[in-house]
Amino acid sequence: MSLEGEVLRLKDERSAVLLAHNYQRPEVQDLADYVGDSLFLSRKARESDRPVIVFAGVRFMAETAKILNPTRTVLLPDLKAGCGLADSITADQLRAWKTDHPGAVVVAYINTSADVKAEADYCCTSSNAIKVVEQVPAGKEILFLPDMFLGDYVRKRTGRAMHLWVGDCPVHAKLRPEDLERARSEHPGAPVIAHPECGCATQALPHVDRVLSTDGMVRYAEETRVPEVLVATEVGILHRMRKLNPVTQFDPIDAGAICPYMKEISLEDVRDSLRFNQYSIDVPADVADRARLALERMVAA
């Protein structure tokens, strides 16, 4: 039997749902039940009635799934699938930051560990960060973490004063305004869509047509009728864009924008996760209980 056939058979046998992030390898995306951004996949995980959730994404996404749907088995097919941005703040660092700002409201991006989420009042993703920050009562001091570029963008869009943690994504921070300028001069007239984690998105905002989450970018790709679009994010997303819209040409700002964590999971890993029940993600109950309200606010926003 082919590898694809084995994955589908095991998925069926175990009544599992396979969730894949937009940056996953094309062959993994193609076999998933749902492909999307971190908010969409969190909602799918939360509402899943299947006993097993295989998360083809990164660890913080699998932890989020476990916290939101604790009675399910959540499998992350490769434990090396971490996140450089999530690693930029620990729970101890956050506790110290909170001590310096008593009474402040903590808004944590989903790209954080479960321990960090347990210290947060609200969680958000790139697609609803503005909405979430707008829910914080006016006049409250806000600590936003860990992505400074997303934080800066949200600060500009909402006009709210926020303290920003100085963290960034190693893949998106590398995309600089100079890269954007070069791509724009090589492809004159092509609109630019950018993920808010990009260094170029906030620093060169006037040259960016749309700042969007990965699903926002996919929807834009599906709807646009222009001949060419410049894309500032991890290149894994191009597979879905090109599949949904074979007419428009989608060019990356930087073809080397590859997230090594997102590429850890192969189709063999997905098959083995179902075959050997690996690697089951558990979040200690006290941590999960403290993180759940912030995550419920995120999925509701």
Q: Which residues here bind ligand 13P, judged by CB under 6 A?
A: 22, 37-39, 111, 125-126, 169, 197, 213-214
203 or 224: whose CB is closer to ligand SF4?
203
Smallest separation (angstroms) from ligand SF4 to the CB of 57: 8
Residues 176-205 that bind ligand SF4 (CB under 6 A): 197
Residue 78 backbone phi and psi in degrees, to 5: -145, 120
Q: Does 170 bind ligand SF4 (CB under 6 A)?
A: yes
Query: What would you measure as the largest C-alpha separation in the chain, in angstroms?
Result: 61
Residues pairing with 16 in the sheet:
52
**Cα dihedral value 191, 193, 199, 204, nearest 10:** 40
| Contact partner at residue 214 from ligand SF4, ligand 13P, none, CB < 5 to 8 Å by partner kind | ligand 13P
CA distance 146 to 297: 18
Q: Write down the H helix ranges in the chain.
A: 3-13, 26-31, 38-47, 59-68, 91-100, 114-117, 129-135, 148-158, 177-186, 199-203, 214-223, 237-244, 267-276, 285-300
Among 16, 19, 41, 58, binds ligand SF4 (CB under 6 A): 58
Binding residue count for ligand SF4, defined by CB under 6 A: 14
Q: Which of 84, 146, 196, 199 binds ligand SF4 (CB under 6 A)?
A: 84
Nearest to 212 by CA among 170, 172, 267: 172
283 counts as binding ligand SF4 under rule CB under 6 A: no
Using CB under 6 A as the binding rule, the residues of this chain from 221 to 250 that contact ligand SF4 are: 234
Taking CB under 6 A as the binding criterion, the range among 9-17, 82-90, 115-123, 275-283 that sits at the site for ligand SF4 is 82-90
Q: List interacting residues with ligand SF4 (CB under 6 A).
A: 58, 83-85, 111, 169-172, 197, 234, 259, 261-262
